[in-house]
Each structure stands twice: as C-alpha cells, then as structure tokens.
Structure 1
C-alpha cells in the first residue's frame, strides 16, 4: 500500500491526539522543490490533549507522533496547535504561510 506523506501525518495525528479539528496542508509547492513533493507541511490542530500545556509541550507531542516523517521525507513542519478555547478566541483562523524566499527552482 502506497500511503502519501500527508495521509500518514493525518492518520498519526488523528490517532495520537484525537483532534476536534485537524488540517494538514502540503505547502511544498511554495518552496524550491521538485513538482509533487511532500516535504513542507502546515498543520493546524485543535485538541483537548493540549489543555493546560505550554506551546513547546504541544509541539513535542506532535513531533513525537511524527518521528518517522520528521526523520525522513518532511523537511519543514509549521505547527499551529490550539485548545478549543484558543481556537474559538481566534475565530478559527491561522496566519497565511509566507512564500519561500530562498533556494532555486528545480
């Protein structure tokens, strides 16, 4: 079975954190990588598991769940981790990712 990196990220985070909201975006096209790459991702996740945790602790939880991907195909991972209250207070939005400023097109 050939599973995409994005699908693997979605599956692992769903299993590890039981999120109320999970959005995994492949942003590789915004960087200097070959077409159809799966190397740069933005993850937005809302989970009760983040209640009372500091931001660094939340990121560590995500990184632990994605150890295999971070050791292999994933070059960059932008994390936006929220409790339910934080997500509601932000009106359900995260900042747009900037375009890549370095490298060359391959």
Structure 2
C-alpha cells in the first residue's frame, strides 16, 4: 500500500525535528474503518515507533510530548489517534 500524504508528512516532520536513529510509521486506519474518528481518508490512525538520542533522560510523557510537538497541527487537524513507542538508543 503506497504511503499517503499524511503518512509522508509524519515521517518528514519527525525526521526533521528529532533526527531519529530509527523511525517506523504504520498506518493503522484500515483497522478502524467505520469507528469514531474515521474520516474516510484512510489516514486517521497511526502507530509510530521511534528511537532518538533526544529521548535520553526524558520521561515517557515528555517523549510523547516531543513527538506531538514535532507533528504540530497534524495531530489536531488530520490524525485522530496515534500510538507512540518512543525510545532512546539502547532501550
């Protein structure tokens, strides 16, 4: 399945802001078709698995805040739900 514009933008913003060592973005929207928050675009639900040196010494909550900040308006306007697995190198 090709990446849509929201998926690509998530990758672009996280890469630019956090310079991850590893980044895997998964579009989970198909599993949520017809559920609350499904806007019919096919890009409303995502999972992010990110390993980043900037997360060292940060709490789980702060790491999620860093991801949300990097994504900015996407989280408000385009993405209904996101599962975030944010780790520092070696974790």
Q: TM-score, normalised by structure 1?
A: 0.75
Runs of 5+ consecutive residues of structure 2 not aligned to the other structure: none
Tell me the C-alpha RMSD between the 2 structures: 1.5
The alpha carbon displacement at 1:12 in A equals: 0.2
- Deviation by residue 1:41-100 (Cα, 9 ceiling, x = unmatched): 0000000000000000000000001111011110001000011111xxxxxxxxxxxxxx
Q: From the CA coordinates, give the structure whose radius of gyration is larger.
A: 1
Q: How does 1:21-32 map to 2 (within 5 A)?
A: 21-32=22-33
Given that 1:29 and 1:36 are in contact with CA atoms closer than 8 Å, whether structure 2 keeps it comes out as no
Q: TM-score, normalised by structure 2?
A: 0.86
Aligned length: 84
The 3 A distance-change label for structure 1 pair 72 and 55 is same
